[in-house]
Chains A and B, each alone.
Chain A
Amino acid sequence: MTGWGRYPAVTGLEVQGEDIRRTTAGATLCRGLGRSYGDSSLIPADDSTSRRFAACTTRADRLLAFDETTGMLRAEAGLSLLEINRLFLRRGWFVPVSPGTQFVTLGGMVASDVHGKNHHIDGSFGEHVDQITLQTADGRVIVCSDQQEPELFRATIGGMGLTGHILEVQFPMRAIPSPWIFEESRRIDNLGDMVDGLKEAADRWPMTVGWVDTLARGRHLGRGILMKGRWATPDEAPAKPPPTKRRLRVPFQLPNFVLSKLSIKAFNTLYYWKHIRREKRGIAAPESFFYPLDALLDWNLIYGSRGFTQYQCVVPHTADNGPARRVLDLFRREGGCSFLCVIKDCGAEGKGMLSFLKPGMSIAVDFPIHPTRTPALVDKLNELVIAEGGRIYLTKDAFTRAEHFRAMELRLEAFNAVRQRWDPQGTLRSAQSVRMLGDTP
């Protein structure tokens, strides 16, 4: 069993079935499509005497109720965003918040409290969740919401699946004027302009994100491409719904040398200069706007046998962009080079007790794993993030030390107290919760 980064790997039993309540009963942890990068969806390594197993929810994917007037949707936790989009885009509905991949389940979207390009306005997915049905460690089925068991509700949003097994999720879909996106993108010279661009666009554009060339340095530090989007109006949009594109698949694990510093550098430079015109605008399919990487299936195999990780943190925003600049600068100085680096201005902190984002700038970098250099790099980044008053995203993490996480996450104690109340035996755990949230192995 591995996450999307293919590191770490644990050996363990995984069960699946259509009956979500029965499948998840007695499970140590639920997992959906396994798109969290590190060990969030893995069970703690087994000593083979314990009877722990992970419950895979992807076959529990029924839609249970949909109100055509309000858009309120209730579905089983294993339903994928891919399927939601396939069924609802052409009917004029979209999820209130979408992450950067469609290969996630509703349960995973709640557990990670995912965010998207509209975070500066709409917050994370959990803000929109109306009600969650949960199977707690003792097998009880609990419905929670802002009114009912609000504490359990807030702990479950962004709670990494550790408060109970998410069985059903209810949330309102959003009506969209057309199934197409109007997109505008701009080539940006440096970090200052990038952040200014994001801030400036925040009032006028519901969706924004920046891509950064991590190898640019000095006065070019933070250069990249700023992307802004909104749903196209019916008269702008093509008459036909967006076509379903054929996806290519990486056929096998590529050798490690394919993704070297040199090829990453070449990719970054090309990607930057491909945007030769300073500004582009036009109609785009939602699939290419929201999920550009989904076009290539199994793209994690590009990183080879090493596997890869993503470091995503949020740091406060200051007028001189000091914190974001220091994170990018440290990453580059320490020899980090990232295929993809994404920067985004964030809105208010979510209601989830352990939700990741808070106001500031979020920075995410992907890089192949090196057995000694990567943990050292993550340590240094974490020390900086703690000093800046930021925090990291559990869903992406595979290397953070428990003491570092405790230093950046003052809410952890309150979160663990809620877990203790609903699961006194400490049955529900993940490899990650054992590694850094203080759970017993």
Chain B
Amino acid sequence: MKVVVLGATKGMGRSLARLFAERGDQLFILGRDAEDIDRSARDLEIRGAPAPVGCAVCDLEDRHTFAPALEAAEKALGGLETVVVTAGRFATQEAMEEDPELAASVLTADFTGTVLFCEEARRRLLARGGGTLCAFSSVAGDRGRKPVVLYGAAKAGLSHYLEGIDHKFRAAGLKTVCIKPGFVKTGMTAGLKPPPFAGEPDQVARAVLRAIDRGRPVIYTPGIWRWVMLIIRNLPRAVMRRIGF
């Protein structure tokens, strides 16, 4: 499989890229920091990805980097079958309420940036007759909640977009996979107190790989979050207003 991963240097993206590498998939990785993605590329080669694992700079907050990065990937891989976006930004609700600049940057990266990157990838995949587009949304997008108002809003928008293109283009051969991780212990959530059923990046990565292989449109991971969110989605507003979740 020819795979492009945006976000392979950290957290769940790193774990997922390593799973692709260990089964010998051809990889090309994108990220913000040229030196950092280069180090991750070497890691993936030693773990079994066919060398060379190429890399190119791509920043979700700068949409002009999307086309050149995907162009470079397509050229190096000699095609394109799967595009995965695990990158994203996170900040606490309190921090974003106080700092509009921070809020703008999180909203831009997690919604506008991710959607426009997916659009670029969608066009390229469809031009080749289809493939798989996988993006990391979040359980935070399932319902407006006090601790993740802004972050959740961006992820809700992203989830809607991913559902929309899945309906529109699946018949044309483009499978869209929307990943909704619950709380996962990564650098992004370091400093937050892990709730019960917090997941590990490796465990999430294995579930994501299965979902990509099977073309599942939506998965919750760790799996328990599917049931947690089913309850949360169905709570009456009056209850949501009172609880802090």
Chain A residues engaging chain B, CB cutoff 8 angstroms: 15-19, 59, 62-66, 87
What are the 6 closest A-B residue pairs judged by CB atoms, nearest first? A62-B43, A63-B46, A17-B187, A66-B46, A18-B10, A63-B43
Residue of A62, A63, A64 ringed by the most chain B CB atoms within 10 A: A62
Chain B: minimal CB distance from A330 (Å): 45
Expressed in whole angstroms, the Cα–Cα distance for A64 and B10 within the complex equals: 15
For A65, what are the chain B residues with a Cβ–Cβ distance below 8 Å? 42, 46
B14 x A63 contact (CB < 8 A): no
Residues of B near any A CB (own CB < 8 A): 9-11, 14, 36, 39-40, 42-43, 46-47, 187, 190-191
How many residue pairs bridge A and B at CB < 8 Å? 29
List chain A residues, Cβ under 8 A from B14. 18
Docked complex Cα distance between A17 and B189 (Å): 10
Q: How distant is the Cα of A65 from the Cα of B10 in the complex, in angstroms?
A: 19
Contacts of A64 in B (CB 8 A): 39, 42-43
Residues of B within 8 A of A16 (CB): 187, 190
Which A-chain residue is minimally distant from B9 (CB atoms)? A18
Main secondary structure of the interface of B (DSSP, over half): helix
- Residues of A contacting B9 in the complex (Cβ-Cβ under 8 angstroms): 18
Tell whether, in the assembled complex, residue A17 and residue B42 are in contact, meaning their CB atoms are under 8 Å apart.
Answer: no
Compute how far the CA of A62 lies from the CA of B40 in the bound complex, rounded to whole angstroms. Answer: 7
Given contacts A18-B9, A18-B10, A19-B36, are A63 and B42 in contact (CB under 8 A)? yes
CB pair B46–A15 under 8 Å, yes or no, is no
Q: How far is the CA of A353 from the CA of B11 in the complex (A)?
A: 37
Residues of A within 8 A of B36 (CB): 19
> What are the residues of chain A within 8 A of B10 when measuring CB–CB?
18
In the complex, A405→B40 CA distance in Å?
43
Cα–Cα, bound, A177→B46 (Å): 21
For the complex, give the distance between the alpha carbons of A59 and B11 in Å.
8
CB contacts (< 8 Å) of A17 on chain B: these are 187, 190
CB distance from B21 to the nearest CB of A (A): 10
Cα(A184)–Cα(B167), bound, Å: 64
B187 contacts A62, CB within 8 Å? no
Q: In chain A, what residue has the closest Cβ to B186?
A: A59
Complex CA gap A16/B189 in Å reads 10
Q: In whole Å, how far is A282's beta carbon from the nearest beta carbon of chain B?
A: 31
- State A18–B40 Cα separation when bound (angstroms): 11
